[in-house]
Each structure stands twice: as structure tokens, then as C-alpha cells.
Chain A
Amino acid sequence: MDNQLQSKNNNLIGELCLYAGKIMLESGAETYRVEDTMVRIANSYGICNSESYVTPTAIIFSLDGEFKTGSKLKRINKRTTDLNKIAAVNHLSREISQGHISVEVAFQRLREIEATKSAYPYWLQVVAASIASACFVIMFQGTFKDFFPALLAGGVGYFCFLLIDRITKVRFFSEFVASFIIGVTAFYSVYKGFGVDADKIIIGSVMPLVPGVLITNAIRDLMAGHLIAGITKGMEAFLTAFAIGSGVAVIFFFL
């Protein structure tokens, strides 16, 4: 009877580790951090032989030892960047390893973390994107005359990205349309004599869409030996860059 209870308990712990890993991976944590967190949670509940294998699209996790539970698989469908959730799960795993939290409470906490929305409302995100775009123009040696066109193009572009992403759920398409609109805004403002250098305006304004973090994380994963994760992330970054490039490129056909 005790054995049965123990194996049921192990099953629950396995589920907990997977759940934590899923939230972290969906929020854009590094591969090694996800693996590390899952193994650490298992360790702090007294299971020493656990193995995890993480790719950007799936997690495989198994608990060995006296009460085997078999390996578990979790599919990851959406991938965004949400640093707040990463920090929250990280904090929770730290508390678990100090040994204060039972499995049930940890589950409850994870559910709360998963349900939290962005701390910043949509309008603030759009404002942040547009200000960042304008600042990038200055950083890339643009003139102050291009500051306001980039402010406009960056804001409009990011707004369209958020809007279309909510409707269609196809990231590639929303990036394509957003960068197309950025291009149109930039060329139009130069045409009207409002801005000077369309290239600079476009570069600054597409920065919020550019998969820079993804590219860098991909190479980091490759260097750390997570070959499959690295290649998959690199591919995703390439697709995003292609969407942005072709969105802007469509305009050149009309010029």
C-alpha cells in the first residue's frame, strides 16, 4: 500500500516538473535552465535519478529509481518571451529546494503563474515599441529628423503585429504584415518630406520584431551542446527574419 502511494506521489512530482518546464519553455527560457530547473525540483522532493531532454517543441522527462514512473512527454506549441514568468518559476523552484512547499501547493502556484497576464497593458507595449524604434534610429547614426517618422512607424507596426497576432495566431503572417506596414509608413513619410532616410526609419522600426534574442540564444544553445534545440531555434529565427525581410521587400516591387 505504501509502495502504491509512493509511486502515485512520484507520478505527481513528475507532472509538477513537466508543468514547470512547460511554463519556462513557453516563456523563452534557455534550454539548459529548463532542464536544470526540472531536475532540481525532482531532487528536492527526494528523487535523485531524473533525466530531462528539452527541445523548443517538446519536453521528455523521466523519473528513475525505486519507483519508476516511465517517461513523460509534453508538447510545446507556443513560444513567446515573458521574462516575468521565468523569474516567477525560478523563484518557486528556489523555494521548493529550500523545502517549504508541498507538491499540491506548488501545483497551485504554477497554475497562478501560468494564468498571469502581461504586467504592461497593450497601449504601454505599443508606446514602448515606438519609443524604442525612434531611439534605435539615433543609435544607428540616423538624424534627428528621422526620429518622429520612426516613432510613428514603430508604433503603428507593433500595434498591427499585436492585433493580427491575436486574430490569426500565425506569427509568420503577422510579422509579414507588420513589416509591410512599417515599410509603407516609412516611404510615405519620406515622400511627404517628413523624414529623410527611409532605410534608417525602417531599420529602427522593425527592431521590435527582429528575432535578435532568438538568433543569439540559438548559437548559445549550439555552443552548450544542445544541438537540436540550437538548430530549431535558428530555423525559427530565420523564418522570422524572412517574414520581416519579405514584408519590406514587397514595397520595393512597387517602387
Chain B
Amino acid sequence: MLAQIITSFVATTGFVILFNAPKNSLIKCGFVGMVGWVIYYWLVQKGNDPVPSSFVASFFIAFLSHLFARKYKMPVIIFIVGGIIPLVPGGLAYHAMRQFVINDYNMGIQLATKVMLIAGAIAMGIVFSEVFNQSYKNLKQRLSKIEE
């Protein structure tokens, strides 16, 4: 587990360097990626399917990203992009492509479908978190109006 924590932090930080993230956001991006990966890894270790695990992890990634974005006044995409990198089913996509190449189309399509499902779950997690965030903001505004 310790190896997972360290490598996910380093990998995310390395990745956002490729995306030319602002220098003062590197550590924060790495932290977001680490939290997301630890949640995902823990859920999968508990015997959950990767699809719902990706959903939960990306939900928390987006939640944390919104917190950071508000706190440090940066666009939220900086943190989200870094955070979801470890979750992206790159390995699975590679396996799917490999099955196609060795003429095992059935397995290839199965794996490709799984890739689509996981990518969809990640996107859904982000969107849900945004909706959650938006309604929280609205609620807060309404409450402050009532108090006045």
C-alpha cells in the first residue's frame, strides 16, 4: 500500500509536468491523484468491480479539485486532469488493442466495452460531483438570503 501511495503521487506529479501545469500547483495535483488512486485501489482490493470503484474515486477527485480550485483560485480542470490520470484505463485499452491484433475479436470487444464503461464511470463521477457542488452553492446562497 505504501508503494502505491508513493508511486501514484509521483506519477501524477510527473504527468502534470507534461501538461505544463503551473509550478505552484504540482504538489496539489499530485495529492489529488494520490487520494483518488488510494480510494480506487482500496475499493478494488475489497473485491469491488473497477467500474463503480472508478465512479467513487473520480467523484472524490472532483470534489477535492473543487475545494482546491476555490481555495487557490485556479481553474478546476488543472486538478481534475491530474487526478484522473491514474484511473484512466490505459492498460485495459492496450490489452483490448492487443487482442484485436492477435485476431481474438471476442475478447477484444469485451475489453473495449469495459474501457468505455470505466471511462464513462469516471466522467459520471466528475459530473455528479459538479452537480453536487453547484447545488451546495445554491443552497448556501439561499440560506444567506433567508438570514438577511
> Which residues in A have some Cβ–Cβ distance to B below 8 Å?
28-30, 33, 81-87, 90-91, 94, 118-120, 124-125, 128-129, 131-132, 135-136, 138-140, 158, 199, 202-203, 206-208, 210, 212-213, 215-216, 219-220, 223-224, 241-242, 244-246, 248-249, 252
List, in ascending order, chain B residues with CB within 8 A of A90's CB: 74-75
B interface, size bucket: 35 or more
| Cβ–Cβ contact A132 & B10, under 8 A | yes
Decide: A216 and B94 in contact? CB cutoff 8 A: no
Q: Which residue, B90, B100, B124, has most C-beta atoms of chain A within 10 A?
A: B90
By secondary structure, the A interface counts as helix
Whether B123 contacts A220 by the Cβ 8 Å rule is yes
9 chain-A/chain-B pairs, Cβ below 8 angstroms = A138-B4, A139-B7, A140-B91, A206-B90, A212-B119, A219-B123, A248-B94, A248-B98, A252-B98
Chain B residues with Cβ below 8 Å from A84 are: 20-22
Known: A135-B8, A219-B120, A220-B126. A128 touches B18 (CB 8 A): yes
Contact between A248 and B97, CB atoms less than 8 A apart: yes
**A197 → chain B, closest Cβ, in Å?**
12
A44 to B108, CA, bound (A): 52
CA–CA, A28 to B77, complex, Å? 10
Contact check, A81 vs B11: say whether CB atoms are below 8 A apart: no
A125 touches B100 (CB 8 A): no
Answer yes or no: B56 CB below 8 A from chain A CBs: no
Residues of chain B from 11 to 46 with CB closer than 8 A to chain A in the complex: 11-23, 25, 37
Q: State how many angstroms separate the Cβ of B137 from the closest Cβ of chain A.
A: 15
C-alpha spacing A65/B55, complex, angstroms: 44
Alpha-carbon separation in the docked complex, A117 to B3 (Å) = 34
Interface flags for B77-118 (1: CB within 8 Å of A; 0: not) read: 110010011101111011101101110000000000000000
**New contact pairs (15) apart from A139-B4, A207-B85, CB-CB < 8 Å:** A83-B16, A87-B75, A119-B22, A129-B18, A135-B14, A206-B90, A207-B15, A212-B89, A212-B119, A216-B126, A219-B123, A223-B127, A241-B93, A249-B101, A252-B98
Check if A220 sits within 8 Å of B11, measured CB to CB: no
Chain A, residue nearest B101 (CB): A249
Q: Tell yes or no: B122 within 8 A of A by CB.
A: yes
